[in-house]
Chain A
Amino acid sequence: SQTIHQWPATLVQPVGSPLSLECTVEGTSNPNLYWYRQAAGRGLQLLFYSVGIGQISSEVPQNLSASRPQDRQFILSSKKLLLSDSGFYLCAWSVAGTGTISQPQHFGDGTRLSIL
């Protein structure tokens, strides 16, 4: 069966420090991968998605970047964190859809990031 892992579960970082959040998927090949952010009092917002190694699409301009160095590894990074980067970050994967049949997305347990 497929599983998705995110770490760390919680992280407290000072403003201006770098960030690296990691997400890995097991039990499937060539998944679509997604990074979402859930800020306090706001809904889930798609940040990045990837359909293959080295292929990253950004939905929202921001202080963050994403990379996919391996098929089942998705990394969210920042060189200098801002206070507004605080939130709950969720990674998700899906099988690529075919035709009009789209596939469900499956979520990790999330990383709660607090910026001080």
Chain B
Amino acid sequence: KQEVTQIPAALSVPEGENLVLNCSFTDSAIYNLQWFRQDPGKGLTSLLLIQSSQREQTSGRLNASLDKSSGRSTLYIAASQPGDSATYLCASTDAGNMLTFGGGTRLMVKP
């Protein structure tokens, strides 16, 4: 059974810092790895999706990488802003398009 872990559980950084969020998974037979953002009391917003054949995806200040062999993905946020404060979730997708979520990293960017 797939297990997804995110470290750290919470992170507080000053505005402008570059930061890395980590995601690890136990079963490397994934179809894709998806990163989401969740604001308090809200649903999930998809940020980036990396297919299993890809190594990374970029969108604006966000860059996500995937290393299937080591069971790891990272989300890199450049020049963080207070508006980036949210919980970030990673999820692996299996052959049946089922998502297994990590516990999330709660990010606080201080002005």
Give the B-binding residues of A (Cβ under 8 A): 6, 32, 34, 42-44, 46, 49, 59, 88, 90, 92, 94, 96-97, 100-110, 112
Contacts and interface: CB of A to CB of B under 8 A. Distances in A.
Contacts of B51: 100-102
Q: Interface residues of B toward A: which range?
A: 20 to 34
A89 to B, nearest CB: 10
Interface string B9-48: 0000000000000000000000110101000011111100
A94 B46 CA distance: 12
A30 to B, nearest CB: 14
Interface in B61-111: 89, 91, 93, 97-99, 101-104
B97 A90 contact: no
A43 B43 contact: no
Contact of B31 (A34, A97, A107): A97
Interface of B: 31-32, 34, 36, 41-46, 49, 51-53, 89, 91, 93, 97-99, 101-104
A100 B30 CA distance: 10
B93 A43 contact: no
A44 B98 contact: no
B105 to A, nearest CB: 12
A104 B51 CA distance: 10
A97 B51 CA distance: 12
A112 B41 contact: yes
A90 B44 contact: yes
A44 B89 contact: yes
Contact of A102 (B41, B44, B97, B102): B97
